[in-house]
Structure 1
Amino acid sequence: MADTNRTRRQRSEEPRQHGKVDVDWLGRDLRGTWGDRRLAARDKVADPRYQRLDDLTMAEHRQRVLEQMHMLVDDGAVLAAFPSRLGGEDDHGGNIAGFVELVLADPSLQIKSGVQFGLFGAAVLHLGTDYHHDTFLPAIMSLEVPGAFAMTETGHGSDVASIGTTATYDEATEEFVIHTPFRGAWKDYLGNGALHGTAAVVFAKLVTKGVDHGVHAFYTPLRDEEGNFLPGIGGEDDGYKGGLNGIDNGRLHFTQVRVPRANLLNRYGDVAADGTYSSPIDSPGRRFFTMLGTLVQGRVSLDGAATVAQQAALAIAIRYGSERRQFNASSETHEEVLLDYRRHQRRLFTRLAKAYAQTYAHERLLVQFDGVFSGRTDTPEEREDLETLAAGLKSLSTWQALDTLQEAREATGGAGFLGENRLVQLRADLDVYVTFEGDNTVLLQLVGKRLLGDFAKQFKGASKADIARFAADQFFERASTLVGLRTLRQDVRDLRNVKKSSIALRDRDLQRELLEDRVETMVADIASRLRHAPKEQAKAAAAFNAEQHQLIEAARAWVELQQYDALAMAVERSPEATKKVLTHLRDLFALTIIEEHAAWYLENGRLSGARSQAVTSTLERLLPKLRPHALDLVAAFGLGDEHLRSLIASGAEGKRQAEAQAHYAALRDAGQLPTPEKKAKGTDPEAQPIAVAGAAPIAPEEILDDSVDAAPHLDATSASAVDAESAKVAAR
Structure 2
Amino acid sequence: MTNVVTASPLTAPEGDGVDVAALGEVLLGHWAEVRLTARELAGRPELHKIEGLSHTEHRKRVFKQLGILVDNNAVHRAFPTRMGGSNDPGGNVAGFEELVIADPSLQIKGGVQWGLFGSAVMQLGTEDHQNKWLPGIMSVEIPGCFAMTEIGHGSDVASIATTATYDPATQEFVINTPFRAAWKEYIGNAAVDGLAAVVFAQLITKGVNHGVHAFYVDLRDPATKEFLPGVQGRDDNIKGGLNGIDNGQLAFNNVRIPRTNLLNRYGDVAEDGSYSSPISSPGRRFFTMLGTLVQGRVSLNGAAVAASKVALKIAVQYATERRQFNAASDTEEVVLLDYQRHQRRLLPLVATTYAAAFAHEELLVKFDDVFSGAHDTDEDRQDLETLAAALKSLTTWHALDTLQECREACGGAGFMVENRFTSLRADLDVYATFEGDNTVLLQLVAKRLLGDYSKEFRNLDFGVLARFVAGQAADLTLHKTGLRNVAQFVADTGFAQKSAKALKDEDTQQQMLADRVQTMVAEVAGALKGAAKLPKDKGAEVFNEHQHELIEAARAHAELLQWEAFTTALGRVKDPGTKKVMTRLRDLFGLTLIEKHLDWYLMNGRISMQRARTLTPYINRILAKLRPHAMDLVDAFGYGPEHLRATIATGIERERQDEARDYYRKQRASSATPIDEKVLIQKTKAAAKK
* Aligned equivalent of 1:718: none
- Pair 1:543 & 2:542 matched: yes
2:273 to 272, 275, 280: 275
- Please give the alpha-carbon distance, in whole angstroms, between the structure 1 residues aligned to 2:318 and 2:396: 24
- Please give the alpha-carbon distance, in whole angstroms, between the structure 1 residues aligned to 2:197 and 2:44: 31
CA shift, 1:404, in A, is: 0.3
* Aligned equivalent of 1:125: 122
CA shift, 1:609, in A, is: 1.1
- Please give the alpha-carbon distance, in whole angstroms, between the structure 2 residues aligned to 1:100 and 1:640: 17
- Please give the alpha-carbon distance, in whole angstroms, between the structure 1 residues aligned to 2:59 and 2:30: 33
* Aligned equivalent of 1:332: 330
Query: Per-residue CA shift, 1:83-110, capped at 9, x if unaligned?
Result: 0101111010000111000000000000
- Residues 166/349 of structure 1: CA separation in 2 closer, same or farther (3 Å cut): same
Match of 2:365, SS?
A: helix
Q: Report if aligned partners of 2:10, 2:627 keep a CA contact under 8 Å in 1.
A: no
* Aligned equivalent of 2:184: 187
- Please give the alpha-carbon distance, in whole angstroms, between the structure 2 residues aligned to 1:15 and 1:25: 19
Q: Equivalent pairs: percent with the same residue?
A: 60
Q: Report if aligned partners of 2:147, 2:199 keep a CA contact under 8 Å in 1.
A: yes
* Aligned equivalent of 1:690: none
The letter for the 2-side match of 1:127 is L
* Aligned equivalent of 1:720: none
Q: Report if aligned partners of 1:664, 1:673 keep a CA contact under 8 Å in 2.
A: no
- Residues 476/251 of structure 1: CA separation in 2 closer, same or farther (3 Å cut): closer
* Aligned equivalent of 1:136: 133
- Please give the alpha-carbon distance, in whole angstroms, between the structure 2 residues aligned to 1:218 and 1:279: 16
Q: Report if aligned partners of 1:9, 1:331 keep a CA contact under 8 Å in 2.
A: no
1:214 to 181, 206, 211: 211
CA shift, 1:460, in A, is: 5.3
- How is 1:638-649 mapped onto 2 (pairs within 5 angstroms)? 638-649=638-649
The letter for the 1-side match of 2:439 is T
- Pair 1:367 & 2:403 matched: no
- Residues 649/612 of structure 1: CA separation in 2 closer, same or farther (3 Å cut): same
CA-based RMSD of the aligned residues comes to 1.5
Match of 1:77, SS?
A: coil
Match of 2:8, SS?
A: helix
The letter for the 2-side match of 1:386 is L
Q: Report if aligned partners of 2:188, 2:247 keep a CA contact under 8 Å in 1.
A: yes
- Residues 556/536 of structure 1: CA separation in 2 closer, same or farther (3 Å cut): same
Match of 1:189, SS?
A: strand
2:163 to 166, 174, 181: 166
Q: Which runs of 5+ in 1 are unaligned?
A: 1-7, 463-472, 686-732
* Aligned equivalent of 1:595: 595
- Please give the alpha-carbon distance, in whole angstroms, between the structure 2 residues aligned to 1:324 and 1:308: 24
- Please give the alpha-carbon distance, in whole angstroms, between the structure 2 residues aligned to 1:537 and 1:92: 41
* Aligned equivalent of 2:258: 260
The letter for the 2-side match of 1:437 is E
CA shift, 1:639, in A, is: 0.6
The letter for the 2-side match of 1:180 is T
* Aligned equivalent of 2:411: 413
Query: Per-residue CA shift, 1:119-143, capped at 9, x if unaligned?
Result: 0000000000011000111100010
- Please give the alpha-carbon distance, in whole angstroms, between the structure 2 residues aligned to 1:17 and 1:168: 73
Query: Per-residue CA shift, 1:213-232, capped at 9, x if unaligned?
Result: 00000000000021100000
* Aligned equivalent of 2:563: 564
Calculate the TM-score normalised by the size of structure 1. Answer: 0.90
The letter for the 1-side match of 2:71 is D
Match of 1:267, SS?
A: coil
Calculate the TM-score normalised by the size of structure 2. Answer: 0.95
CA shift, 1:478, in A, is: 3.1
The letter for the 1-side match of 2:637 is F
CA shift, 1:75, in A, is: 1.1
The letter for the 2-side match of 1:550 is E
- Please give the alpha-carbon distance, in whole angstroms, between the structure 2 residues aligned to 1:167 and 1:684: 92
Query: Per-residue CA shift, 1:348-405, capped at 9, x if unaligned?
Result: 0011100000000000000010010000111111110000000000000000000000
* Aligned equivalent of 2:632: 632
Q: Report if aligned partners of 1:17, 1:628 keep a CA contact under 8 Å in 2.
A: no
Q: Report if aligned partners of 2:43, 2:102 keep a CA contact under 8 Å in 1.
A: yes
- More displaced 10-residue stretch of structure 1: 665-674 or 232-241: 665-674
2:355 to 331, 354, 357: 357
- Please give the alpha-carbon distance, in whole angstroms, between the structure 1 residues aligned to 2:608 and 2:566: 27
CA shift, 1:485, in A, is: 1.6
- Number of residues of Structure 1 aligned to a counterpart in Structure 2: 668
- How is 1:471-490 mapped onto 2 (pairs within 5 angstroms)? 477-490=475-488
- Please give the alpha-carbon distance, in whole angstroms, between the structure 1 residues aligned to 2:262 and 2:528: 40
Q: Report if aligned partners of 1:678, 1:684 keep a CA contact under 8 Å in 2.
A: no
- Please give the alpha-carbon distance, in whole angstroms, between the structure 2 residues aligned to 1:213 and 1:461: 37
CA shift, 1:669, in A, is: 1.6
- Please give the alpha-carbon distance, in whole angstroms, between the structure 2 residues aligned to 1:382 and 1:239: 40
Q: Which runs of 5+ in 2 are unaligned?
A: 461-470, 686-690
- Residues 684/402 of structure 1: CA separation in 2 closer, same or farther (3 Å cut): farther
- Residues 107/17 of structure 1: CA separation in 2 closer, same or farther (3 Å cut): farther
- More displaced 10-residue stretch of structure 1: 451-460 or 475-484: 475-484
- Residues 461/315 of structure 1: CA separation in 2 closer, same or farther (3 Å cut): closer
* Aligned equivalent of 1:39: 36
* Aligned equivalent of 2:608: 608
- Residues 329/231 of structure 1: CA separation in 2 closer, same or farther (3 Å cut): same
CA shift, 1:603, in A, is: 0.8
2:386 to 364, 385, 388: 388
* Aligned equivalent of 1:617: 617
Query: Per-residue CA shift, 1:630-676, capped at 9, x if unaligned?
Result: 00000000011110000101111000000000111111122332221
- Please give the alpha-carbon distance, in whole angstroms, between the structure 1 residues aligned to 2:255 and 2:473: 61
- Please give the alpha-carbon distance, in whole angstroms, between the structure 1 residues aligned to 2:566 and 2:286: 34
- Please give the alpha-carbon distance, in whole angstroms, between the structure 2 residues aligned to 1:636 and 1:44: 19
The letter for the 2-side match of 1:523 is V
CA shift, 1:488, in A, is: 1.5
Query: Per-residue CA shift, 1:496-543, capped at 9, x if unaligned?
Result: 422111110000000000000001001111111111324211111111
Query: Per-residue CA shift, 1:559-607, capped at 9, x if unaligned?
Result: 1111001101111231211110001001000001111111111111001
CA shift, 1:15, in A, is: 4.7
* Aligned equivalent of 1:653: 653
Q: Report if aligned partners of 2:199, 2:214 keep a CA contact under 8 Å in 1.
A: yes
Match of 1:212, SS?
A: strand
Match of 2:200, SS?
A: strand
- Please give the alpha-carbon distance, in whole angstroms, between the structure 2 residues aligned to 1:413 and 1:83: 49
- Please give the alpha-carbon distance, in whole angstroms, between the structure 1 residues aligned to 2:683 and 2:316: 38
